[in-house]
Amino acid sequence: MGIAYVTNRSQIDGANVQASTAARQNQPLEQRLHALSELQKTLARLQYRSEHGVPWYERAGLSQNNALLAALWPRYQDSALPLLRDASANHLQRQINAFNALPPDSPLREQMAKTTYDQLKLYLMLARPEHMDAAWFSSALLHDWPKRDGVKDAVWQGVAPSLLTFYGAQLNVHPEWKLSADESMVSQARSLLVRLMGVRNSESTLYQKMLAQVAHLYTDMRLEDMTGDTDASRLFSTPEIVPGMFTRQAWEQAVQPAIEKVVKACRDELDWVLTDSKRQVNKQDETSPEALKKRLTERYFADFGGAWLEFLNSLHWNQAATLSDSIDQLTLMADVRQSPLVR
C-alpha cells in the first residue's frame, strides 16, 4: 500500500508540474513546449492504463488513474490550444492571406497554388475535426513550418512531430477544441484555387495525361493483327496502324479505370478542401466530377472512332494481275470462315 501511495502521489505531482509549466506564459517557449510534451506522454500513459489496467504496484485501492486523466484533459487543453492550434493557425493564415493578396496577374499565384492548397487543407483540418488526418497533418505542417520563432530549430524539429500528431489524433475525440475558421479568408482562397486548378487541370491537360499513362501498355494494331490467320494482303494493304490505346481491351482494362481515377481525384479535391461540405456539387455543373467524366469519355470515343476511321480510309484494294487472281480474291471475300470482312 505504501508503494501504491508513493507512486500515485509522485505521478500526480509530476503531472501538476508539467501542466503548470506548459501553461505559464512567462516561461520561455522552449520550456513550455517541453513541458507540454511531457504532459502529453503522461496523458498517453494514463489513457493506456485506463484501457488495459494500471500496474499492480499502483492499485491497493489507491489508484487515481482515471480521475487524474479526467483532470488533466482541461489543463492540456489550456496549453495545447494556444501553443499548437492557435500558433499553427496563425502561421497558416499568414501564408494564405499572402496568397490572397497577390495581384491578379502575378505569376506567383500559379507557382504557389499547390502549396496554398496544402496550407488551406491543414488550416481546415484544425476547424473540421472529422477531416483530421493526424499523421499527414503533422508531417505536412512541419514541412511548411520548419522554423518557429523563439525555439531552436533542433528543439522544434524534435518535439513538433509528436506534439502535432497527438493533438491531431485527439481533436476528433475532443471536437470542442476545433478552430473557429476565418470564413472570409477561406472563401477567397477557395475561389482563387478553384480558378487556378481549373486552368492547370484543364480537361485537355487531364485527357492528354491520361492517354500518356496508358499508351505504352498496349501495342499498336496492324492489318495482319486484325485478320488473324487470314492473309488479308491478298485483298488490302495499308501502312497505317490503330494505336493500341484505341481498342476495346485498352478501354476496359486501362482507359476506363484511368478516367475514374482522374474523376475521383477531382471529387476528392472538391469534396471539402475547395468547397463547403454543406453544399452539394450539382452534377449538371460543368465543373462537377460527373460532368468531367462525361466529357473525358466522349472525347476518348471521338478519338477512338477517328483512329479507326483513319485506318479504314487508308485501306487500298490490291489490284489482281490475272483473272485467276481476281477469282481467288472473290472466293476469299465470300468465304464466311476466312473472309477478313467478317472477322
pLDDT tens-digit map of 252-281: 999 999 999 988 877 776 768 988 755 444
pLDDT at 66: 74
84, 187: one domain: yes
Contact 235, 333 (CB under 8 A): yes
pLDDT for residue 39: 92
Q: What is the pLDDT of residue 287?
A: 60
Among all chains, which residue has been given the C-alpha cell 476496359? 252
190 with 206, same domain: the answer is no
- Average pLDDT on 185-214 reads 85
Confidence of residue 11 (pLDDT cuts 50, 70, 90): low
The reply to whether 316 falls in a domain is yes
Any idea which of 97-106, 123-132, 255-264, 298-307 has the lowest mean pLDDT?
255-264
4 pLDDT higher than 60: no
The pLDDT assigned to 133 comes to 96
| 339 belongs to a structural domain | no
Q: Which residues contact 54 (CB under 8 A, 6 or more apart)?
A: 63, 65
User: Quick one: 135 and 94 in the same domain?
Assistant: yes
Residues 280 and 306 in one domain: yes
Please tell me the distance from the alpha carbon of residue 17 to that of residue 79, in angstroms, as a whole number: 13
Examine the domain organization and report whether 254 and 158 are in the same domain.
no
Rounded Cα distance between 210 and 2, Å, is 71
Q: Give residue-wise pLDDT tens across range 118-143.
A: 999 999 999 999 999 999 999 999 99
Q: Cβ contacts of residue 282 below 8 Å, gap of 6+?
A: 288
- Using the 3D structure, point to which of 154, 181, 197 is the last residue of a domain: 197
Domain final position from 169, 197, 225: 197
Residue 66 falls inside a structural domain: yes
pLDDT of residue 62: 46
24 and 67 belong to one structural domain: yes
For residue 252, give its domain range. 201-334
User: Any alpha helices (H) in 246-322, and if so which ranges?
Assistant: 248-250, 256-268, 289-313
What value does the mean pLDDT of the chain take? 83
Q: What is the pLDDT of residue 183?
A: 96
Task: Please indicate, yes or no, if residue 134 is contained in any of the structural domains.
Answer: yes
The Cα–Cα gap between 137 and 261 comes to 24
pLDDT at 237: 73
pLDDT for res 262: 86
| Range among 24-33, 159-168, 211-220, 284-293 with highest mean pLDDT value | 159-168
CA-angle at 184, arms to 181 and 190, nearest 5°: 90
Q: Kindly state whether residues 189 and 304 are assigned to the same domain.
A: no
| pLDDT higher than threshold 60 for residue 65 | yes
Q: Quick one: pLDDT at residue 7?
A: 54
Q: Which of 166, 182, 197 is the last residue of a domain?
A: 197
Same domain flag for 102 and 214:
no
Residue 25 pLDDT greater than 50, yes or no: yes
**Cα dihedral angle (320, 325, 330, 336), rounded to 10 degrees?**
-120
CA distance 197 to 185: 18
* 340 located within any domain: no
In a domain, 263, yes or no: yes
Q: What are phi and psi of 326, to 5 degrees?
A: -65, -40
Classify residue 295: in a domain, yes or no: yes
Q: Which residue has the higher pLDDT, 25 or 63?
A: 25
Rounded alpha-carbon distances, angstroms, from residue 337 to 159, 198, 312, 320: 76, 53, 21, 22
For residues 183 and 273, membership in a common domain is answered with no
241 compared with 139, residue with greater pLDDT = 139
36 and 162 share a domain? Answer: yes
Q: State whether 186 and 212 are in the same domain.
A: no
Q: What is the pLDDT of residues 147-184, one digit of tens each?
A: 999 999 999 999 999 999 999 999 999 999 999 999 99
Q: What is the mean pLDDT of residues 108-113?
A: 93
* pTM flag (> 0.75): no
| pLDDT recorded at residue 1 | 46
- The number of folded domains in the chain is 2
The answer to whether residue 326 scores a pLDDT higher than 70 is no
Q: Which residues contact 4 (CB under 8 A, 6 or more apart)?
A: 57, 58, 59, 60, 61, 62, 63
- Better-predicted residue by pLDDT, 24 or 83: 83
64, 107: one domain: yes
Q: How confident is the model at residue 107 (pLDDT cuts 50, 70, 90)?
A: very high
Is pLDDT of 67 > 70?
yes
